[in-house]
């Protein structure tokens, strides 16, 4: 293969952190490559990004050549794989390809955005094919924690790539078919140039476990319970929702959905033909009239999100669901790193109500959706790739995954963090270019570059507080009124002693009674320094300080 | 026992959260009770308390009757048991009692505080006795993750209480003696009215494991390593430091300490007679000249603390320690909940340097210092208490511990969160009073009540940003200059379009060109509302907005 017709892989999200996946595959001469995009996801903000709910990969690289972008293919419907579509698709305006459930969920999601008047989504059937320019793409059914997870076998003139997306090997997934090992083996026998593979659980030995086992364990636990039962689970785990509905039926309980995303997910699942084998749900408002042992609430909020249903139930502010001693809440979910404190606080609130709390730690009522080491090993045995490219992980996961692939005798491995363009050539992989990559923050309705000053300014104030001083002086430099001192987030006595002293210092500086150690500083800067130094001496903190001296 | 001479237990910290322990025991008629305080610890701030490093229990209840406080007894030297002494002892000024290592460490710590000119510490020998008013207190040697952990057998006219402090059952603690099961059994045979017991690991089955096992595993791992070895561990785990020094000696490596708290801890340990059986440490600066396979750095920063040694090493900003491919960092420590993201970020930085990272997840190089369920069971079998009072845990831990005690046929149990005063009477325990309890935040050098406005104001700004508008008008209400608009943490274009528009709106309101929908609002409030509403429409956020209109 001439390098003028090279095949490249370029992650812009998901290779270096877990979340916000954006993968590009390109083929053709560098100056006129054609591209496909696989997934376009988000991650969620945390304490480092106060006020930011959603973080997205910066698509600038592909935005600048969007005329060469043949389409966006979604492997599955999790937020970290398609959540950025409503925000970034308007800039790209490319065709979108997805299987029915993913398509239904994306359309339900986008319908909440006024700016988008429908998306050009083409539905691809499970195990379907798609041809986009030089890319011949086959959807391969896998198992995961959401319906319709797909690997993509991307056949190109330069060889076949297998993009796994998110997966595990679930022998009893409850919804959908088993991992299509036959097709994976077949593609492996044909010859796979490179696998681009999920690294999430590479540190975990063994296997992730099956939804079938969760069903058995939930049955065993719930049939012993007497009071109200609440199960909180990730709404997108439709197999889990089905399990819970079936367990409720067998234990003679009616299921009420609680939380908006439960309704959205159930709607999308039904429109794609799932969940048709369970009894109808009842209204949470009606469930309150039933005897406690006839009710099961299926509920959002397993991560302790303050506005989600379970937190409102725990704080006694939910309009329809009231829990009391004798009731049980099951967390059929995992603890997403970073959410520990919120989740434990939620569990403490429930315990305070006298409610029994059960989690995956004490009962086997959850399994991961990602492949553990034995499953990764199995995948490599099926596919027998020439090259392994770990994605979907922090750097430590990617490096561990690389070591695992090497231990399985994969001839070539490459760790390519976001922005690293990997060229596949002569059975080798090498990083040929670093392109701009980064994060965008959705701040309210504004999309911010993560390197900009906005969040830094907010964090600064959150650590040290803010002082604003306003003075009016006349042309002679005399104060026309007492300086106004505003404190935010700065400790002061009830009488405002510190603010009063800051006002005094301001007057002194303006009246020239304070030494001006640097003659070339503006009056505002002199006030600012004097005030900041004084507050620092009194409180041990240097607040953000702004001074307005208005001369009239 | 007449209830006029009642015996009470009152936790003000540590019963309802893990961290900042403060336990009070009282004896006598309610109006003139005599008190002892057991431990006075801190916890650390997190994203909910930006800018706050240290959180302490509010000692108001005992402060108001400090003339009846006979003394403060420290069970051991962990920060969550004695870290608040430098901040709160000046208010209490009571005698302090501690074993030699705890005493040495507290004095080293307090020497950094100018305000405190020495503490009235009485050293109690291990297994020593102490009489304070009606309380006859015996120190009982336990095992934990720091030298000299003590339970206190508190004998009173109303019966004997066993306050466990923090403990585990380590058959091979390496430093200090084993858990004094003989004395615990003896006290149990005498009759224990109530045990006040550590709940930290009540959700973990089995046993915590031994420092001896950690030594064997560290030996096995480190002897195979070729390049530089860094071990990060909690500095207070002196047995671990000794282990690491011994492993280094056997693997022909010199140990350099890195990080201030390592030096402080080693100093305190030596002054109390520990660590005298290991080779001398070398300077980190000198270690850089040795071949990589002759060096072992023993390092602070296992929690990803940004200013600690390991983070500085990982970012390449440490003056003496440089790591590269072939080197290994071992985290001989646990992940404290809430620190996951910082620790993983640190590990990713190390991996980026080409450094191998090993943790307790992949190698058995750490054990917990707290009792798991089998150890708790053993303790109850030794002590055979009439009443169990779980402490040192969140509410969910206390409730689970209560259930465990009931399953062990302890006749009486009581969950008493901070501020609940438990009276022991006729072999029963009941909560007789709720007293004020709460948290104090150390914000810079100021101690804040956690219910005050300071942090709330800072958090508000961290989510939504801050706008300040300053205008000067004359008596007719005419603007004397263009309004000044200051944004902090609010997104705007480089040209400042939004700020410009906000200035225009301000002018319109002042000139009366905007409708005043509520005639009774001040001009400042009208400007504030108009500006806030406009910014909200443009950005989706409502910033904290302050308006100064100065009339001159």
Domain B211-358 homologous superfamily, CATH: Metallo-hydrolase/oxidoreductase (3.40.50.10710)
pLDDT for B1 beyond 50: no
Confidence category of residue A439, pLDDT binned at 50, 70, 90: very high
The pLDDT of A288-295, averaged and rounded, is 96
How confident is the model at residue B475, as a pLDDT?
86
Min Cα distance A130 → chain B (Å) is 37
Give A-chain residues touching B399 at CB under 8 angstroms.
351
pTM of the model: 0.92
SS3 B419: coil
Min Cα distance A492 → chain B (Å) is 9
Residue B423, token pair as written in the block: 């009276």
How confident is the model at residue B517, as a pLDDT?
53
A402-425, pLDDT tens digit by residue? 999 999 999 999 999 999 999 999
Kindly give, in sequence order, each residue whose CB lies less than 8 Å from that of residue A322, ignoring residues fewer than 6 positions away. A288, A313, A316
Mutate to test the interface with B, among A465, A499, A538 (most CBs of B within 10 A): A465
Instruction: Tell me if B486 and A46 make a contact (CB, 8 A cut-off).
Output: no
Instruction: Tell me if A47 and B47 make a contact (CB, 8 A cut-off).
Output: yes
**Residues 489..518 of B with a Cβ closer than 8 Å to A: which?**
489-491
pLDDT for A533 beyond 90: yes
Min Cα distance B84 → chain A (Å) is 18
**CB contact B46 to A (< 8 Å):** yes
Confidence category of residue B491, pLDDT binned at 50, 70, 90: very high
Instruction: Tell me if A550 and B481 make a contact (CB, 8 A cut-off).
Output: yes
Q: Which residues pair with B255 in a beta bridge?
A: B296
**CB contact B488 to A (< 8 Å):** yes
Residue A422, token pair as written in the block: 């990997």
How confident is the model at residue A1, as a pLDDT?
41
- Report the 10 Å Cβ neighbour count for B540: 13
pLDDT for B192 beyond 50: yes
Instruction: Tell me if B351 and A443 make a contact (CB, 8 A cut-off).
Output: no
Instruction: Tell me if B394 and A546 make a contact (CB, 8 A cut-off).
Output: no
Kindly give, in sequence order, each residue whose CB lies less than 8 Å from that of residue B186, ignoring residues fewer than 6 positions away. none
Whether residue B203 contacts residue B397, with contact meaning beta carbons closer than 8 Å, is answered with yes
How confident is the model at residue B547, as a pLDDT?
96
Measured at the CA of B212, the angle between CA B207 and CA B215, to 5 degrees, comes to 125
**Range with lowest mean pLDDT among A475-484, A517-526, B104-113:** A517-526
A148-192, pLDDT tens digit by residue? 999 999 999 999 999 999 999 999 999 999 999 999 999 999 999
Between B362, B489, B550, which is nearest A550 by CB?
Answer: B550
Averaged pLDDT score across all residues of chain B? 95
What is the count of residue pairs from A and B with beta carbons less than 8 Å apart? 185
Between B362, B466, B541, which is nearest A466 by CB?
Answer: B466
Instruction: Tell me if B489 and A552 make a contact (CB, 8 A cut-off).
Output: no
pLDDT for A511 beyond 70: yes
pLDDT for A513 beyond 60: no
How confident is the model at residue A2, as a pLDDT?
42
Instruction: Tell me if A484 and B550 make a contact (CB, 8 A cut-off).
Output: yes
What is the complex's ipTM, to 2 decimals? 0.90
pLDDT for B333 beyond 70: yes
HSE of B329 in the Cβ direction (CA atoms, 13 Å)? Answer: 32
Domain positions in chain B are: 3-206+368-449, 211-358, 465-551
Instruction: Tell me if B486 and A464 make a contact (CB, 8 A cut-off).
Output: no
Mutate to test the interface with A, among B373, B460, B466 (most CBs of A within 10 A): B466
CA distance A543 to B488: 13
A317-326, pLDDT tens digit by residue? 999 999 999 9
**CB contact A550 to B (< 8 Å):** yes
**Which residue, B435, B401, B1, B432, is CA-closest to B164?**
B401
Domain A3-206+368-449 homologous superfamily, CATH: Ribonuclease Z/Hydroxyacylglutathione hydrolase-like (3.60.15.10)
**Which residue, B519, B540, B541, B516, is CA-closest to B530?**
B516
How confident is the model at residue A519, as a pLDDT?
64
Residue-wise DSSP of B354-416: T-EEE-TTTS-----SS--HHHHHHHHHHH--SEEEEESEEHHHHHHHHHHHHHTT-SEE---
B149-159, pLDDT tens digit by residue? 999 999 999 99
Confidence category of residue A520, pLDDT binned at 50, 70, 90: confident
Tell me A65's DSSP state: T
pLDDT for B439 beyond 90: yes
The pLDDT of B42-53, averaged and rounded, is 91
pLDDT for B2 beyond 50: no
CA distance A299 to A323: 13
B5-17, pLDDT tens digit by residue? 799 999 999 999 9
How confident is the model at residue A305, as a pLDDT?
94
Instruction: Tell me if A454 and B361 make a contact (CB, 8 A cut-off).
Output: no
**Range with lowest mean pLDDT among A505-514, B339-348, B397-406:** A505-514
The pLDDT of A368-391, averaged and rounded, is 98
- Report the 10 Å Cβ neighbour count for B155: 19
How confident is the model at residue A516, as a pLDDT?
54
Greater confidence (A194 vs B513) lies with A194
Greater confidence (B151 vs B113) lies with B151
**Range with lowest mean pLDDT among A223-227, A491-495, B517-521:** B517-521
CA distance B43 to B14: 10
**CB contact A108 to B (< 8 Å):** no
Min Cα distance A383 → chain B (Å) is 27
Between B203, B458, B550, which is nearest A462 by CB?
Answer: B458
**Which residue, A129, A128, A142, A133, is CA-closest to A195?**
A142
B58-93, pLDDT tens digit by residue? 999 999 999 999 999 999 999 999 999 999 999 999
B162-172, pLDDT tens digit by residue? 999 999 999 99
**CB contact B468 to A (< 8 Å):** yes
**CB contact A403 to B (< 8 Å):** no
Instruction: Tell me if A357 and B396 make a contact (CB, 8 A cut-off).
Output: yes
Search chain B and give the residue with CA nearest A457: B489
Give chain B's length: 552
How confident is the model at residue B514, as a pLDDT?
58
Search chain A and give the residue with CA nearest B546: A486
Give A-chain residues touching B545 at CB under 8 angstroms.
none
CATH architecture of A465-551: Roll (3.10)
Give B-chain residues touching A465 at CB under 8 angstroms.
51, 454, 457-458
**Residues 195..224 of B with a Cβ closer than 8 Å to A: which?**
203
pLDDT for A518 beyond 90: no
Three-state secondary structure of A339-403: CHHHHHHHHHHHHHCCCEEECCCCCCCCCCCCCCHHHHHHHHHHHCCCEEEEECEEHHHHHHHHH
Confidence category of residue A517, pLDDT binned at 50, 70, 90: low
Min Cα distance A338 → chain B (Å) is 6
Give A-chain residues touching B457 at CB under 8 angstroms.
465, 488-489
Instruction: Tell me if B340 and A337 make a contact (CB, 8 A cut-off).
Output: yes
Min Cα distance A349 → chain B (Å) is 8
How confident is the model at residue A299, as a pLDDT?
97
How confident is the model at residue A359, as a pLDDT?
97
pLDDT for A386 beyond 50: yes
**CB contact B113 to A (< 8 Å):** no
Instruction: Tell me if A541 and B459 make a contact (CB, 8 A cut-off).
Output: no
A233-275, pLDDT tens digit by residue? 999 999 999 999 999 999 999 999 999 999 999 999 999 999 9
**Which residue, A347, A349, A345, is CA-closest to A357?**
A347
CA distance A147 to A160: 25
Instruction: Tell me if B395 and A443 make a contact (CB, 8 A cut-off).
Output: no
pLDDT for A450 beyond 90: no
Instruction: Tell me if A546 and B486 make a contact (CB, 8 A cut-off).
Output: yes
Taking each helix axis from N to C terminus, what angle separates B373-383 and B181-190, rounded to the nearest 10 degrees? 50
**CB contact B270 to A (< 8 Å):** no
**CB contact B340 to A (< 8 Å):** yes
Instruction: Tell me if B541 and A444 make a contact (CB, 8 A cut-off).
Output: yes
B452-469, pLDDT tens digit by residue? 899 999 999 999 999 999
Between A50, A472, A540, which is nearest B472 by CB?
Answer: A472
How confident is the model at residue A459, as a pLDDT?
94
Min Cα distance A303 → chain B (Å) is 13
**Residues 297..336 of A with a Cβ closer than 8 Å to B: which?**
none
Instruction: Tell me if A464 and B347 make a contact (CB, 8 A cut-off).
Output: no
Between B203, B344, B552, which is nearest A552 by CB?
Answer: B552
The pLDDT of A478-499, averaged and rounded, is 93
């Amino acid at each position: 293969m001439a390098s003028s017709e090279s095949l490249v892989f370029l992650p812009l999200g998901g290779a270096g952190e877990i979340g916000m996946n954006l993968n590009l595959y390109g083929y053709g001469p560098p100056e006129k490559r054609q591209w496909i995009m696989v997934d376009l996801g988000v991650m969620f903000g945390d304490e480092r990004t106060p006020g930011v709910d959603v973080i997205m990969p910066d698509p600038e690289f592909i935005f600048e050549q969007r005329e060469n972008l043949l389409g966006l293919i979604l492997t599955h419907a999790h937020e970290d794989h398609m959540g950025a579509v409503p925000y970034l698709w308007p800039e790209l305006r490319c065709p979108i390809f997805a299987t029915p459930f993913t398509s239904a969920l994306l359309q339900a999601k986008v319908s909440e955005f006024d700016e988008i008047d429908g998306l050009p989504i083409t539905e691809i059937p499970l195990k379907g094919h798609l041809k986009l320019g030089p890319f011949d793409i086959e959807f391969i059914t896998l198992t995961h924690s959401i319906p319709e997870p797909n690997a993509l076998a991307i056949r190109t003139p330069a060889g076949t790539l297998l993009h796994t997306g998110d997966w595990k090997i679930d022998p009893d997934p409850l919804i959908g078919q088993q991992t299509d090992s036959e097709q994976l083996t077949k593609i492996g026998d044909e010859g796979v140039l490179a696998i681009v593979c999920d690294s999430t659980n590479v540190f975990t030995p063994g296997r992730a476990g099956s939804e079938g086992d969760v069903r058995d364990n939930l049955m065993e636990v719930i049939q012993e319970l007497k009071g109200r039962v609440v199960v909180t689970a990730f709404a997108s785990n439709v197999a889990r929702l089905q399990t819970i509905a079936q367990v409720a039926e067998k234990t003679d309980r009616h299921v009420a959905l609680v939380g908006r995303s439960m309704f959205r997910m159930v709607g999308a699942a039904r429109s794609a033909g799932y969940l048709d084998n369970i009894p109808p749900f009842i209204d949470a408002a009606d469930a309150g009239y039933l005897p406690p042992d006839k009710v099961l609430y299926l509920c959002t909020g397993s991560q302790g999100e303050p506005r989600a249903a379970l937190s409102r139930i725990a704080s006694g502010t939910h309009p329809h669901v009231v829990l009391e001693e004798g009731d049980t809440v099951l967390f059929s979910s995992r603890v997403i790193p970073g959410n520990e404190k919120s989740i434990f606080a939620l569990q403490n609130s429930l315990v305070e109500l006298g409610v029994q709390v059960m989690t995956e730690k004490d009962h086997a009522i959850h399994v991961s959706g990602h492949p553990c080491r034995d499953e990764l090993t199995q995948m490599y045995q099926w596919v027998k790739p020439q090259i392994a490219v770990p994605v979907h992980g922090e750097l430590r996961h990617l490096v561990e995954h690389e070591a695992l692939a090497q231990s399985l005798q994969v001839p070539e491995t490459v760790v390519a963090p976001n922005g690293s363009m990997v060229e596949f050539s002569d059975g080798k992989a090498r990083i040929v270019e670093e392109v701009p990559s980064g994060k965008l923050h959705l701040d309210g309705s504004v999309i911010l570059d993560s390197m900009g000053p906005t969040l830094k300014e907010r964090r600064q104030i959150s650590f040290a507080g803010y002082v604003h001083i306003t003075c009016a002086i006349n042309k002679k430099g005399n104060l026309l009124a007492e300086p106004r001192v505003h404190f935010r987030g700065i400790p002061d006595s009830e009488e405002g002693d510190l603010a009063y002293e800051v006002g005094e210092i301001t007057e002194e500086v303006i009246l020239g009674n304070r030494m001006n150690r640097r003659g070339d500083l503006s009056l505002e800067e002199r006030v600012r320094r004097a005030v900041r130094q004084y507050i620092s001496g009194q409180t041990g903190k240097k607040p953000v300080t702004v001074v307005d001296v208005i001369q009239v």
